[in-house]
């Protein structure tokens, strides 16, 4: 495993939508290594989630830390299906925008359709507001959006 360099804004990879992976690509050693390296990088940086484009890879891969643990879930090719209950995420930060914080309107719970790291497609619904916020944040990255695009900077 390796610790990867986290790309900082305004790098073009952060503002370019990522591409989906095929089932064979998901199972490839290249993507499996990327997932392990992203987890290692996120742990090293003290982050809660990371999108592949934040480490310079334009693929639709996210890793998210399960709240209150050091365990991670892998989300590949996510599609937003439903959101429940609006909330204001106050002072949300991002490893690609160090030292900057934004207020962002997010859903309290989300349902998504995505592949896991074994390339199985599943529907998943969050139970935790924290995980819902992390997923939405990382899914924004996959669309080429940063907190600058979706939030209001805290002064």
Q: Of these residues, 5, 40, 120, 138, which one is catalytic?
A: 138
Residue 138 known to be catalytic: yes
Instruction: Compute how many other C-beta atoms are within 10 angstroms of the C-beta atom of residue 123.
Output: 11
Taking a C-beta distance cutoff of 8 angstroms, is the pair 50, 41 a contact? yes
- Sign of the CA dihedral 110, 57, 145, 5? positive
- Residues classed as catalytic: 138
């Amino acid at each position: 495993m390796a610790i990867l360099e986290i790309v900082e804004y305004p790098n073009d990879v952060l503002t370019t939508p990522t591409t989906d992976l095929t089932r064979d690509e998901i199972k490839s050693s290249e993507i499996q290594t990327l997932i392990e390296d992203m987890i290692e990088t996120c742990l090293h940086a003290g982050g809660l989630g990371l999108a592949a484009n934040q480490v310079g890879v334009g693929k639709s891969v996210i890793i998210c830390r399960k709240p209150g643990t050091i365990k991670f879930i892998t989300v590949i090719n996510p599609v937003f299906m439903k959101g429940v209950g609006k909330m204001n995420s106050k002072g949300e930060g991002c490893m690609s925008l160090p030292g900057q914080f934004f207020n962002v309107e997010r859903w309290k719970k989300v349902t998504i359709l995505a592949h896991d790291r074994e390339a199985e497609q599943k529907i998943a619904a969050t139970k935790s507001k924290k995980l819902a916020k992390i997923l939405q944040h990382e899914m924004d990255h996959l669309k080429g959006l940063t907190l600058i695009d979706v939030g209001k900077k805290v002064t």
